[in-house]
């Protein structure tokens, strides 16, 4: 597959961001950025299932591009420490 034109990639990233922020997904905390010729997805989402859903959409929207996945799910553990404010 030939390399997509740079401006086309930029608009495809914008479309993915729009789709993630849209009605059905409602995930505004995901960062979508170019890293060389690949696309990096990063940020923290509530559950592993949401992460899988975002990656599935990204692979559809960004078909033909390499997607690097750096999405994490937030810890749901109680904290080990308390901040003492003076």
Partner 1 sequence: MTPAPAARQPDGAVRVAAVGDIHLSPDCAGLLRPAFATLPECADLLLLAGDLTRHGTVDEAVVVADEVRDLGVPVVAVLGNHDYHSDQEADITRALAAAGVSVLEGQSVTFSVAGHTVGVAGAKGFCGGFAGRSAGAFGEPEMKAWVRTAHIGAERLSTALEELSADRCEVRIALTHFSPVPDTLAGEPVEIYPFLGSYLLAEAIDAVGADLAVHGHAHLGTEHGRTAGGVRVRNVAQPVIDRAFALYQLPVHGHGSGM
List interacting residues with partner 1 (CB under 8 A). Answer: 23, 26, 28-29, 31, 43-47, 49, 74-86
Q: Which is nearer to partner 1, 34 or 63 (CB)?
A: 34
Give the total residue count for the chain.
86
Shortest CB 38 distance to partner 1, Å: 19
Shortest CB 55 distance to partner 1, Å: 16
The phi, psi pair for 40, rounded to 5°, reads -100, 125
Q: Which is nearer to partner 1, 4 or 57 (CB)?
A: 57
Is 52 in contact with 25 (CB distance < 8 Å)?
Answer: no
Cα–Cα dist 19/59, whole Å:
13
């Amino acid at each position: 597959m030939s390399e997509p034109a740079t401006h086309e990639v930029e608009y495809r990233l914008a479309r993915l961001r729009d789709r993630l922020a849209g009605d059905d997904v409602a995930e505004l905390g995901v960062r979508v950025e170019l890293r060389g010729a690949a696309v990096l997805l990063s940020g923290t989402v509530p559950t592993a299932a949401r992460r899988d859903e975002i990656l599935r959409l990204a692979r559809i929207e960004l078909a033909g591009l390499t997607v690097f996945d750096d999405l994490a799910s937030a810890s749901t553990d109680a904290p080990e420490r308390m901040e003492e404010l003076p």
